[in-house]
């Protein structure tokens, strides 16, 4: 499921892993490891988050499916709304991102696909942008490309091992220094808030 952690990488086209640089560890704190790597011939970076969070697969899916409440935990997200629900595991949504001045705010239209859980308990979620699905709002710059994946494995003791990767072309003009400065901040804050929500769901 693609969630706009922040504008953290510029992707002009799909690039195979073999063409990309090695992952570089940028932060490892409170069990949340954040990596980045430079894409070939591109100034911006792709991010990866690896962590263990409390909770079950069903608890995490409930949070991911609750689109209107994404601003509660997704960094820089001002508003999120469901556009079309094909079924519980396939839906399209709109996210509005609050960018720091003087950068223009962005919006993203994306489709989420939640794949069937394997016998081993592995859950794979994929989100890809649909920039032309709804008309462009003149108050925002439409993000032309975004792609994210969630690899989720259950662990003993009601824990989850999560690997999250995120790539995006934010569109328009954004200073490279601003983008790269937020590669660590956005993902870290997002997954810290996600951990808190999962903890609270287990207590209730």
Whether residue 8 is contained in a domain is answered as: no
Q: Within a domain: residue 159?
A: yes
Say if 6 falls within a structural domain.
Answer: no
What is the pLDDT, as a whole number, of residue 116? 94
pLDDT of the residue at 70: 96
- The reported pLDDT for the residue numbered 76 is 86
Going from the C-alpha of 141 to that of each of 77, 174, 191, the distances in angstroms are 14, 11, 26
Which of 166, 169, 202, 201 is CA-nearest to residue 66? 201
- Number of structural domains found in the chain: 1
- What is the structure's pLDDT at 204? 62
- Report the CATH number that the domain containing residue 192 is assigned in CATH: 3.30.530.20
Identify the burial level of 14 via C-beta atoms within 10 angstroms of its C-beta, where 0-12 means exposed, 13-18 middle and 19 or more buried: exposed
- Answer whether residue 135 is part of any domain: yes
pLDDT digits (tens, 9 = 90+) for 61-86: 999 999 999 999 998 899 999 999 99
Radius of gyration of the chain (CA): 16
pLDDT in tens, the chain (204 residues): 433 444 343 333 333 343 456 899 999 999 999 998 876 655 556 889 999 999 999 999 999 999 999 999 998 899 999 999 999 999 999 999 887 777 888 999 999 999 999 988 999 999 999 999 999 999 999 988 888 999 999 999 999 999 999 887 777 777 766 666 666 788 899 999 999 999 988 766
Prediction pTM value: 0.85
Nearest to 56 by CA among 165, 197, 203, 202: 202
Amino acid 172: pLDDT: 76
- pLDDT at 71 (0 to 100): 95
3-class SS at 151? strand
The verdict on residue 98 lying in a domain is yes
Domain extent at residue 189: 17-198
Residue 139 domain flag: yes
Residue 108 belongs to a domain: yes
């Amino acid at each position: 499921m693609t969630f706009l952690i922040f504008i953290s990488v510029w992707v002009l086209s799909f690039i195979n892993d073999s063409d990309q640089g090695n992952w570089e560890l940028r932060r490892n704190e409170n069990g949340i490891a954040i990596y980045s790597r430079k894409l070939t011939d591109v100034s911006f970076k792709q991010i990866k988050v690896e962590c263990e969070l409390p909770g079950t697969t069903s608890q995490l899916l409930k949070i991911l499916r609750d689109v209107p409440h994404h601003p509660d935990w997704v960094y820089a997200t001002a508003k999120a709304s469901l556009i079309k629900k094909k079924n519980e595991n396939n839906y399209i949504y709109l996210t509005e991102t609050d960018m720091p001045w003087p950068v223009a705010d962005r919006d993203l239209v994306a489709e989420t696909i939640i794949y069937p859980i394997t016998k081993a308990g592995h859950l794979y979620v994929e989100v890809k942008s649909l920039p032309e699905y709804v008309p462009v709002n003149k108050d925002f710059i439409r993000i032309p490309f975004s792609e994210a994946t969630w690899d989720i494995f259950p662990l003993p003791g009601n824990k989850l091992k999560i690997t999250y990767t995120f790539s995006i072309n934010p569109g328009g003009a954004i200073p490279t220094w601003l983008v790269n400065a937020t590669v660590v901040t956005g993902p870290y804050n997002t997954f810290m808030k996600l951990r808190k929500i999962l903890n609270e769901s287990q207590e209730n």
